């Protein structure tokens, strides 16, 4: 018995050996700096006095009070965010289940048996009535983790839990940006609807004047039909933007996860300062600030731990089953002296022939790690591209909007001059028709350009990891190893 205890002590000392490969973070497959060129002039320097996007709270980034209220409702009710949070709880539970395998499962058992054997079946030729009672406390097939198989599986589950938490953060950031973009799209369609309604009124007045001139023999039938086509085109646009505004409201309601609040404050106009400028930083910041990148890295670490479990499967497994208790033929004598019982049953399993399944399992684990490396690198590259696109938009939209605004002003003046010259008979109706069409097109293009500028800024804020904090300087929600050690986070998960 003493020798057995020595063996057990040695086995316990060896437990904790790990065959997990040393983790090496893949090198970032992107340049050390964002692109330079005409499209990026002044883009990186914009917002130099503003905190980084990851620290800037969405309440401080967005200026529109109506949008802030909508984001607040979405964070409380959106179903995708709710599912992401539940997935975190599910992965936490899975980690706790896997971690429990490291410890022996102890259970207490009480049993009683009373049996009657007929005389013709009894070895004594007489009827026998026997009783047996017992109480025991023991473990069932506890595996001593000599080569770290169970610890590797536990670490893989822990990293999956961390990945799910980062995925929840990424879902929240995406939700904030999606609500903002949906709201801005609705405001732009509302602005287009207003412009279309005003333009339709102008076209109808022109049509009525042309119709009277036609009836008096001054205008031609061609002028009348050309004026009518303008009216019908505007009516078609009016129906289109009326539909888009309704559909935008439906899309926004889906993101909110609830009905549109009735107490929404007044919103700002598209021509006002709706978002703050944020500094771009450097690409290396993305590796620490983007939850989707952190999630991909945790999945890579999980795949790395699975290799350790696959390696450990090549080695023997030792399992212990032990119990101790008391037994008696009489219930009253269950705890009398000399009624003690015990059982100790060690078991060792050595893989000898597995038809290559263990080797295939190890190869599969290594392939999964390579897949996760490629996924991680693709995630980094996508993040780099999103930020670069945002910087290119920031560096060019200001000039585009200025030019578009001047075009609207020139088109409005052109329309007023063409209308006056047509009424006095100096120019043909084709000139007035062209001026009306150009003004309407320029006004729509200005609204679309402003929408594209705003959505590009929102997407840049998202690409830089912004949208997680509610207010600037507030700590982000707990996310496992983002700011702490693996062991500490593991304790919190358990």
The string of pLDDT tens digits covering residues 72-91 is 999 999 999 999 999 999 99
Same domain, 219 and 308: yes
Last residue of a domain, one of 302, 330, 350: 350
- Domain CATH code at residue 346: 2.20.200.10
Instruction: Lowest mean pLDDT of 8-12, 202-206, 473-477, name the range.
Output: 8-12
Query: Where is pLDDT greater, at 319 or 446?
Result: 446
* Same domain assignment for residues 189 and 272: yes
Higher local confidence (pLDDT), 435 or 116: 435
**Is 416 contained in some domain?**
yes
Residues 293, 285 contacting (CB under 8 angstroms): no
pLDDT over threshold 50, residue 250 = yes
Q: Say what the pLDDT of residue 431 is.
A: 86
3-class DSSP state of 24:
coil
Share of the chain above pLDDT 90, in %: 51
Q: What percent of the chain has pLDDT over 70?
A: 90
- Give pLDDT tens digits for 450-462: 999 999 999 999 9
* Same-domain check for residues 195 and 292: yes
Q: Give the highest mean pLDDT range of 320-324, 345-349, 436-440.
A: 436-440
Query: Does pLDDT of 443 surpass 80?
Result: yes
- Residue 102 has phi, psi (to 5 degrees) of -75, -15
389 occurs within a structural domain: yes
Question: In the predicted model, is pLDDT for residue 142 greater than 90?
Answer: no
For residues 50 and 163, state if they share a domain: yes
The verdict on 133 and 217 lying in the same domain is no
127 pLDDT band (50/70/90 cuts)? confident
Give the range of the structural domain holding residue 442, as residue numbers without chain letter: 17-101+147-315+358-493
Looking at the structure, do residues 217 and 235 belong to the same domain, yes or no? yes
Residues 336 and 430 in one domain: no
Name, in order, each residue with C-beta under 8 angstroms of 382's C-beta and a sequence gap of 6 or more: none
Least confident of 182-191, 260-269, 343-352: 343-352
101-113 per-position pLDDT tens digit: 888 888 888 787 8
Q: What is the pLDDT of residue 219?
A: 77
Return all residues near 104 (Cβ < 8 A) that are at least 6 apart. 139, 142, 320
Asked if residue 198 and residue 56 are part of one domain, the reply reads yes
Sheet holding 128-144, edge to edge: 106-117, 128-144, 317-328, 340-349
Show Cβ contacts of residue 5 under 8 Å, excluding neighbours closer than 6 positions: none
Same domain, 125 and 21: no
- Domain end position, chosen among 350, 373, 406: 350
Same domain, 167 and 272: yes
User: In the prediction, which pLDDT does 170 show?
Assistant: 95
Last residue of a domain, one of 350, 369, 393: 350
> Nearest Cα to 63, choosing from 277, 269, 279, 273?
273
423 located within any domain: yes
Q: Is residue 7 part of a domain?
A: no
Exposed / middle / buried, residue 3 (Cβ in 10 Å: 0-12, 13-18, 19+): exposed
pLDDT at 46: 63
Number of compact structural domains in the chain:
2
**326 falls within a domain:** yes
CA distance 440 to 11: 83
Q: Give the pLDDT band of residue 484 (cuts 50, 70, 90).
A: very low
- Answer yes or no: do 119 and 234 share one domain: no
C-alpha angle 61-66-67 in degrees, rounded to nearest 5: 45
Q: pLDDT higher for 122 or 3?
A: 122
Region 353-368: mean pLDDT is: 93
Beta strand pairing call for 128-144 and 106-117:
antiparallel
Angle between helices 149-215 and 291-312 (to 10 degrees): 150
Question: Quick one: pLDDT at residue 44?
Answer: 64
Q: Looking at the structure, tell me whether residues 152 and 282 fall in a common domain.
A: yes
**Mean pLDDT, rounded, for 334-347:** 77
In a domain, 6, yes or no: no
Residue 6 pLDDT exceeds 50: no
The answer as to whether 394 is a domain residue is yes
d(CA 227, CA 232): 9
CATH of the domain at 450: 1.20.1600.10
Q: Is 309 helix (H, G, I), strand (E, B) or coil?
A: helix
Mean pLDDT of 112-137: 77
Question: What's the whole-number average pLDDT of the chain?
Answer: 85
* pLDDT tens-digit readout, 216-243: 887 788 888 888 888 999 999 999 999 9
Of residues 213 and 479, more confidence is placed in 213
User: Looking at the domain assignment, is residue 213 inside a domain?
Assistant: yes
- Residue matched to tokens 């909007």: 401
């Amino acid at each position: 018995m003493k020798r057995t205890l020595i063996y057990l002590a040695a086995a316990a000392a060896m437990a904790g050996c790990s065959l997990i490969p040393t983790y090496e973070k893949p090198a970032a497959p992107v340049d050390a700096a964002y692109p330079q060129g005409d499209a990026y002039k002044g883009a990186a320097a914009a917002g130099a006095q503003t905190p980084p996007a990851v620290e800037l709270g969405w309440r401080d980034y967005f200026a529109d009070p109506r949008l802030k209220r909508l984001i607040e409702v979405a964070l409380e009710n959106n179903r995708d965010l709710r599912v992401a949070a539940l997935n975190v709880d599910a992965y936490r539970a899975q980690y706790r289940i896997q971690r429990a395998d490291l410890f022996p499962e102890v259970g207490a058992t009480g049993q009683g048996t009373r049996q009657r054997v007929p005389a013709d079946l009894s070895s004594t030729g007489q009827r026998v009535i026997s009783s047996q009672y017992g109480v025991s406390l023991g473990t069932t097939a506890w595996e001593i983790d000599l080569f770290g198989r169970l610890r590797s599986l536990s670490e893989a589950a822990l990293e999956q839990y961390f990945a799910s938490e980062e995925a929840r953060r990424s879902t929240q950031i995406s939700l904030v940006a999606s609500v903002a973009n949906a709201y801005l799209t609705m405001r732009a369609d509302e602005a287009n609807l207003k412009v279309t309604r005003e333009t339709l009124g102008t076209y109808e007045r022109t049509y009525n004047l042309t119709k009277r001139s036609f009836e008096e023999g001054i205008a031609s039938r061609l002028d009348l039909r050309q004026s009518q086509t303008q009216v019908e085109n505007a009516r078609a646009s009016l129906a289109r933007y009326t539909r888009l505004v309704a559909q935008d409201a439906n899309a926004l309601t889906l993101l909110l996860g609830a009905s549109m609040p009735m107490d929404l404050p007044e919103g700002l106009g598209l021509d006002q300062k709706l978002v703050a400028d944020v500094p771009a930083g450097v690409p290396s910041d993305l590796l620490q600030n983007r939850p989707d990148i952190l999630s991909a890295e945790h999945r890579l670490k999980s795949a790395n731990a699975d290799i350790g479990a696959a390696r450990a499967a090549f080695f023997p497994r030792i399992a212990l089953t032990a119990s101790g208790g008391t037994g008696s033929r009489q219930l009253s004598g269950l705890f009398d002296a000399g009624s003690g019982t015990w059982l100790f049953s060690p078991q060792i399993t050595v893989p000898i022939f597995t038809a290559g399944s263990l080797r295939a399992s190890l190869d599969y684990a290594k392939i999964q790690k390579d897949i996760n490396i490629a996924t991680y690198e693709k995630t980094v590259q996508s993040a780099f591209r999103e930020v670069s696109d945002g910087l290119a938009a920031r560096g060019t939209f200001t000039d585009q909007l200025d030019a578009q605004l001047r075009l609207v002003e020139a088109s409005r003046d052109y329309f007023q001059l063409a209308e006056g010259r047509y009424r006095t008979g100096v120019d043909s109706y084709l000139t007035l028709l062209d001026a009306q069409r150009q003004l309407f097109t320029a006004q729509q293009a200005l609204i679309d350009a402003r929408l594209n500028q705003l959505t590009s800024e929102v997407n840049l804020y998202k690409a830089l990891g912004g949208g997680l904090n509610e207010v600037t300087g507030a700590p982000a929600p707990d996310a496992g190893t983002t700011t702490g050690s693996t062991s500490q986070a593991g304790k919190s998960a358990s």
